[in-house]
């Protein structure tokens, strides 16, 4: 399983989600390594199709089912969860993506 965390240093949310992601993996008994991908320029953001920090991809798929498909830039990403905007994806999305990848 390939787990990527894309981020840029100007966003404070990536470090919190990294810790949570490590805990999620441990709780599931997974020892897969998280690949940290630092995005440092607008050009890189476009090339990587980076909708903002933090972005988690599992086997190349964003954990958000309806991830943005444009507007790639160095920005903090927000997620719409139950009518609220939050700075990181909820555990349920990560769990669902991990489970889906495990069965492929």
Domain ranges across the chain: 3-102
Question: Can you give the pLDDT at residue 104?
Answer: 63
Report the predicted TM-score, pTM, of the whole model to 2 decimal places.
0.92
pLDDT tens-digit readout, 46-65: 999 999 999 999 999 999 98
Q: How confident is the model at residue 93 (pLDDT cuts 50, 70, 90)?
A: very high
For 26-35, what is the mean pLDDT?
86
d(Cα 28, Cα 50) in Å, to the nearest integer? 27
E-strand spans in 11-92? 34-38, 55-58, 61-62, 79-81, 84-86
Please give the residue that has the higher pLDDT: either 1 or 52.
Answer: 52
Q: How confident is the model at residue 79 (pLDDT cuts 50, 70, 90)?
A: very high
Q: Which CATH architecture has domain 3-102?
A: 3-Layer(aba) Sandwich (3.40)
């Amino acid at each position: 399983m390939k787990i990527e965390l894309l981020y840029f240093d100007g966003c404070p949310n990536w470090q919190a989600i990294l810790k949570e992601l490590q805990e999620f993996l441990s709780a599931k008994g997974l020892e897969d390594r998280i690949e940290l991908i630092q995005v440092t320029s607008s050009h890189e953001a476009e090339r990587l199709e980076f909708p903002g920090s933090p972005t988690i991809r599992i086997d190349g798929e964003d954990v958000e089912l309806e991830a943005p498909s444009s507007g790639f830039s160095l920005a903090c990403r927000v997620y719409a969860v139950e009518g609220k905007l939050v700075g990181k994806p909820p555990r349920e999305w990560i769990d669902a993506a991990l489970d889906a990848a495990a069965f492929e």
